[in-house]
Structure 1
Amino acid sequence: MRILHTSDWHIGRSFHGHATLDALRGVLDAIVAQVREHRVDVVVLAGDVFDSAAPSPACYTLLTDALSALSDAGARIVVTSGNHDSAARLGFQAALLREGIAVLTDPRGVGIPVTIDDADGPVHFYGIPYLEPAVVRATWEGTDLRSQAQTMAHAMTLVRADMAVRGGRSVAIAHCFAAGVEATPGVEREIRQGGLDVVPLSTFDGPDYVALGHIHGRSQLSERVRYAGAPLHYSFGEADKPRGSWLVDLGPDGLAAVEWLPLPLPRRLVTVRGTLDELLAHPRYAEHEDAWVCAQYTDATPQSDPMRRLLRRFPFCATVQHTPEGLPVADGLDYAERVRAAHDDVELFDAFLAHVRAGEGATDDERALIREVLDTRTLTEASR
Structure 2
Amino acid sequence: MKALTWHGKGDIRCESVPDPKIEDDRDAVIKVTACAICGSDVHIFHGLIPSMENGDILGHETMGEVVEVGKGARGLEVGDRVVVPFTIACGECFFCRKGFYSACERTNPDREKAAKLWGNSPAGLFGYSHLLGGYSGGQAEYLRVPHADVGPIKVPDELTDEQALFLSDIFPTGYMAAEFCNIEPGQTIAIWGCGPVGQMAIRSAFLLGAERVIAIDSIPERLRLAESAGAMTLDYMAEDIYDRIMEITHGRGADACIDAVGTEADSRASLDSLVDRVKVATFMGTDRPHVLRQAIHCCRNFGTVSVVGVYGGYLDKVPLGSAINRGLTLRMAQTPVQRYLPSLLDRIRKGEIDPSFVVTHRGGLDDGPELYKTFAERKDGCIKVVLRP
Fold match by TM threshold 0.5:
no
Tell me the TM-score normalised to structure 1 length. 0.30
Higher Rg:
1
Tell me the TM-score normalised to structure 2 length. 0.30
